[in-house]
């Protein structure tokens, strides 16, 4: 099996080969069925980034538009955050649901975010562990089949993929990200799932926070009609794709977001999983402010640097069994293109353990640029780079 994985890394796979490989992984376990629901289903998968809290406002938004969202999510590892870790910072919220509980919540509330059971594509778990120790993680056919075997087995009617590209993403180059997106879109369509992918920028972290409770707080701001512009933009763009895939192009998610209906669904979604939407979120015991080194324009904030800092502050884990701190993370007070003043706060680091600050600060060294007034004009990069499918 190790030799086969290496052969796939070196030689690639044709479309039929990847489809057969993926079908075999699906057949190693169970498949879910949402055909009994009274509304169509749509799901979203992100390949992972820094400050990527989009699932939190997106799932209740799409549900408020009349489409059920069965979001099976995972935990963070390394510099990328995990949706379940974020939601577990909400007091009482639980990630583990039975299939019966999941179906009931989808019918009653319209959205569920929970942990995937061991029964979906169990062969993928074994293969992933093998890829990790044989240096074959980066094989695009294996990445695509790993993601899509679970998503197809999940049983959703349509799927939108958010393929991140940039310094803070697994895919650093646009061409490789486009190849991965195309392979996954083909796999979805060959399996009868309406699938599209957006290539989105992950050179700059999303929003203004990276960390579990910090990102939940920011997501609530988005649902309340505020929040950072880039988070709102990507949430609405992905919602439009999900609604189109489910045949609900007649609904404008931007209008629904502004109406407050998505916030009602968010609260109902948390309560259905024993979470308390009114309870205060955890905060870190210690903070450290990083001041702007000069006055001018912030022209770069590197996603990988911020992600590593958040991880080292306790927001992430090195091994899947490691605990995480709910209140740890990084908050930035300016985004690229914003004016900053020397000595004023640029970033705030949060952790329960002050001895973590030193390594987090080391991660941020060289991770941002401030151009003095009168320097080259800042030209923003597009958030949505391309659409595949």
The pLDDT value given to residue 321: 77
Catalytic residue among 45, 53, 312, 350: 45
Q: Judge contact between 351 and 360, C-beta under 8 A.
A: yes
pLDDT tens profile 240-261:
999 999 999 999 999 999 999 9
Q: Is residue 123 part of a domain?
A: yes
Alpha carbons 85 and 250: distance in angstroms, whole number: 34
For residue 51, give the nearest of 223, 270, 202, 237 by alpha carbon: 202
Buried b (16+ CB within 10 A) or exposed e, 26-43: bebbbebebeeeebbbbb
Same domain, 262 and 190: yes
Q: Judge contact between 329 and 350, C-beta under 8 A.
A: yes
Same domain, 29 and 167: yes
Same domain, 248 and 308: no
Give yes or no: 98 in active site: no
For residue 310, give the nearest of 41, 44, 49 by alpha carbon: 49
Count of structural domains within the chain? 2
The enclosing domain of 113 has a CATH number of 3.40.1030.10
The pLDDT value given to residue 81: 82
Same domain, 96 and 34: yes
Same domain, 170 and 293: no
Q: Is residue 304 part of a domain?
A: yes
More confident residue, 61 or 378: 61
Catalytic residue among 39, 79, 86, 150: 150
Same domain, 238 and 105: yes
Q: Is residue 243 part of a domain?
A: yes
Alpha carbons 360 and 283: distance in angstroms, whole number: 18
What is the per-residue DSSP string for 214-234?
HHHHHHHHHHTT-S-HHHHHH
Q: Is residue 193 part of a domain?
A: yes
Same domain, 42 and 124: yes
Q: Say how many CA atoms lie within 13 Å of 153 toward its Cβ.
A: 26
The pLDDT value given to residue 117: 80
Give yes or no: 150 in active site: yes
Catalytic residue among 46, 73, 145, 146: 146
The enclosing domain of 307 has a CATH number of 3.90.1170.30
Q: Is residue 387 part of a domain?
A: no
Alpha carbons 53 and 231: distance in angstroms, whole number: 8
What domain range is 336 assigned to?
Answer: 286-371
Q: Of 248, 272, 296, at which residue does a domain stop?
A: 272
Same domain, 7 and 116: yes
Token pair listed for 246: 């489910």
pLDDT tens profile 81-99:
899 999 999 999 999 999 9
- Give mean pLDDT, residues 154-169: 95
Report the SS3 class of residue 114. Answer: strand
Same domain, 25 and 160: yes
Same domain, 193 and 298: no
Q: Is residue 213 part of a domain?
A: yes
**H or E segment and range at residue 237:** helix 229-245
Same domain, 131 and 236: yes
Alpha carbons 22 and 148: distance in angstroms, whole number: 7
Q: Is residue 277 part of a domain?
A: no
Same domain, 9 and 141: yes
Catalytic residue among 75, 86, 131, 240: 131
Give yes or no: 146 in active site: yes
Q: Is residue 227 part of a domain?
A: yes
Q: Of 210, 240, 272, at which residue does a domain stop?
A: 272
Catalytic residue among 43, 85, 124, 230: 124
The pTM is what? Answer: 0.95
The pLDDT value given to residue 77: 72
- Give mean pLDDT, residues 301-317: 96
Assign 230 a pLDDT band (cuts: 50, 70, 90).
Answer: very high
pLDDT for 273 beyond 80: yes
């Amino acid at each position: 099996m190790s030799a086969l994985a290496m052969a796939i890394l070196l030689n690639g796979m044709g479309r039929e080969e990847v489809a057969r490989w993926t079908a075999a992984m699906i057949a190693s376990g169970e498949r879910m069925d949402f055909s009994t629901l009274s509304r169509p289903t749509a799901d979203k998968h992100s390949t992972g980034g820094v400050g990527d809290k989009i699932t939190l406002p997106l799932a209740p938004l799409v549900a408020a538009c009349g489409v059920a969202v069965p979001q099976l999510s995972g935990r963070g590892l390394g510099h990328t955050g995990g949706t379940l870790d974020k939601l577990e910072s909400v007091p009482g919220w639980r990630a583990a649901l039975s299939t019966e509980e999941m179906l009931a919540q989808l019918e009653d509330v319209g959205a569920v975010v929970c942990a995937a059971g061991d029964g979906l594509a169990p062969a993928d778990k074994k293969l992933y562990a093998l890829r990790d120790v044989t240096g074959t993680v980066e094989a695009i056919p294996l990445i695509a089949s790993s993601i899509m075997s679970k998503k197809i087995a999940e049983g959703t009617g349509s799927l939108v993929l958010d393929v991140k590209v940039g310094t803070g993403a697994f895919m650093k180059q646009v061409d490789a990200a486009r190849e991965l997106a195309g392979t996954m879109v083909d796999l979805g369509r060959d399996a009868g799932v309406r699938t599209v992918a957006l290539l989105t920028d992950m050179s700059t972290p999303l929003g203004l926070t990276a960390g579990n409770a910090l990102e939940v707080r920011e997501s609530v701001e988005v649902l309340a009609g505020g929040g950072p512009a880039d988070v709102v933009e990507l949430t609405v763009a992905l919602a439009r794709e999900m609604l189109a895939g489910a045949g609900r192009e007649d609904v404008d998610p931007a209008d629904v977001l502004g109406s407050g209906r998505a916030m009602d669904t968010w609260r109902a979604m948390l309560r259905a999983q024993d979470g308390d939407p009114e309870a205060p979120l955890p905060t870190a015991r210690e903070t450290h402010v990083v001041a702007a080194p000069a006055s001018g324009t912030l022209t770069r904030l590197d996603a990988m640097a911020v992600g590593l800092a958040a991880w080292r502050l306790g927001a992430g884990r090195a091994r899947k069994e490691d605990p995480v701190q709910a209140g740890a993370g990084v908050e930035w007070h300016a985004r690229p293109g914003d004016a900053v003043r020397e000595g004023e706060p640029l970033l705030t680091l949060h952790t329960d353990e002050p001895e973590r600050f030193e390594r987090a600060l080391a991660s941020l060294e060289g991770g941002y640029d401030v151009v003095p007034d009168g320097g080259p004009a800042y030209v923003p990069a597009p958030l949505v780079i391309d659409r595949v499918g």
